[in-house]
Every structure is written in C-alpha cells, then in structure tokens.
Structure 1
C-alpha cells in the first residue's frame, strides 16, 4: 500500500467516525424528549458502515487499502419507554407519555469509542505525513 493511500483510508475512517459522533450527539440530545404519541417519539439512530468494496475492486494493489463508507443511518427497533403520567402536559388521552429508546450509557460508550477511533486515524495520517517527509529528506542528502 502506498503511503498516499493511507490518507484516503484514514480520511474515510475520520468521516465515518464524524457521522457516528454526530448521530450519538443527536441521540443524547433527544434522550429526555417526550411526546404524546408513538409516531412522534424520537428513536435511537445508529450509522451503518461498510468497506469501500467498489474502490477495492478497482484498486490494482488488491484489497490492501480499503476504506470505510457510511451506508446509512438506521432507527432502532427497540421498544419505546412508555410512562403513565396523566398530569404531564404531553400526556395522551389515556394519560401516557412516550420517551425515546435511547440508552444514555450505551451512547456515552459509543461517543468515547468514536472519539478514540477518530483520534487514532489522525495519528495514522500524521505518522504517514512524517514518513513521507523523512523520505523526502533522504533524497536531499541529509
């Protein structure tokens, strides 16, 4: 794999982790929202990642430098949190309020994992840059 491919692969990973962080932020910001119907209730979302296989198939070096792409964002099918609270202003005619199916602890772990993966890919790109710089310095006779 060429050192230049490292930038493409780590860049695709950083874009994917950025989507993951944004999705996690959306989940956390809506974790305590309330609605009066199942249809209007926020549902936890997760990004779906896949290898960039179309790029790998066209790559002359084979699959040694395959990045990642975001295929989409899916909503969780876990049940919503339903609470009987007839005094709440958002309660439906039966006295129920509906809360998102967001698990704050899972989202915090997801946020830490995405943040560390992003940082790791920054370090990979930085190390590749340093290696290229050192290679150029060899050519200068230093």
Structure 2
C-alpha cells in the first residue's frame, strides 16, 4: 500500500484492533460483579492480542492475533453467607478484575481508536483535495 490509500488501509486495521480492545475492556468491566458459587470458575478477564502484519516492512498495519483470558479462574472468594449461591461456609466467588486497570485499558483503546479515526479523516480530506485539483 502507498499514499492515501495505504494510510486508509493501515488506519482501518488500527480501528478494528482498537474496537476489539474496547469491546474486551467493556465486557470485563460489565462482568466485574458477576457472582458464582465456589464450585464454579469465576469470570475471567479477556485481553486482545495485537500483532503486526508483515512486520518489518511497516506497510500493512495490525491485526487481532487472538484473545487471552486472565487465567484467574479461582477469582476472589468473598464471605457473603446470605447470598443464594453461597457455599456451606458462606463463601461466593467474584472475578479477580481490577477496575482501575480496566478503565486504563478502556481509555488507551479509546484514544487509539480516536487517533486512527483522525488518520482516516485526514486521508479522506487529502483525497478530496486531490480530486478538487483535478477539476481545475
């Protein structure tokens, strides 16, 4: 890719990755208070793995390489004897998700999305200006 269309393509790949990152962080925050019994696994935070496309050439952008779970299936055990899911000792299980970390991820993903969107807007403006030059 080159020129304006290359910028659009690369920024488009960045938009996709940052949107997936936003989705994952939002999902993690939405499930931060999910309760389960101690016999079940707690909700696990999901993280998006980004990878460069054709790394080294710098011309193809980025893509989602997959998603990873936090691996903290045991979550946090909390004593809530009145909860309907409490075990015989009065414990339930919550996800081990740090709200501050997730909010930080959400802000970074949002800013990355906005930056890529700004590139798309500037490329579109440059393309429209080029078309106006041709009209004479």
TM value normalised by structure 1? 0.85
Matching residue of 2:65: 71
* Change over 3 Å in CA distance of 1:123–1:38 after alignment to 2: farther
Q: CA shift at 1:38, angstroms? A: 5.6
Deviations 1:45-95 (A, max 9, x none): 111110012xx6xxxxx7132311111111113462111222221112332
Matching residue of 1:59: none
Q: Give unpaired runs (5+ residues) of structure 1.
A: 57-61
Alignment of 1:1-142 (within 5 A): 1-37=2-38, 39-53=40-54, 63-78=57-72, 80-141=75-136
CA distance in 2 between counterparts of 1:66 and 1:29 reads 33
Task: Indicate if the aligned counterparts of 2:48 and 2:68 stay in contact, CA closer than 8 A.
Answer: yes
Q: Give unpaired runs (5+ residues) of structure 2.
A: none
Greater Cα offset, 10-19 or 87-96: 87-96
Q: CA shift at 1:26, angstroms? A: 0.8
Query: Aligned-pair RMSD on alpha carbons?
Result: 1.8
Task: Indicate if the aligned counterparts of 2:80 and 2:90 stay in contact, CA closer than 8 A.
Answer: yes
Greater Cα offset, 62-71 or 22-31: 62-71
| Count of residues in correspondence between the two structures | 134
Q: CA shift at 1:6, angstroms? A: 0.9
CA distance in 1 between counterparts of 2:107 and 2:113 reads 10
Q: CA shift at 1:136, angstroms? A: 2.3
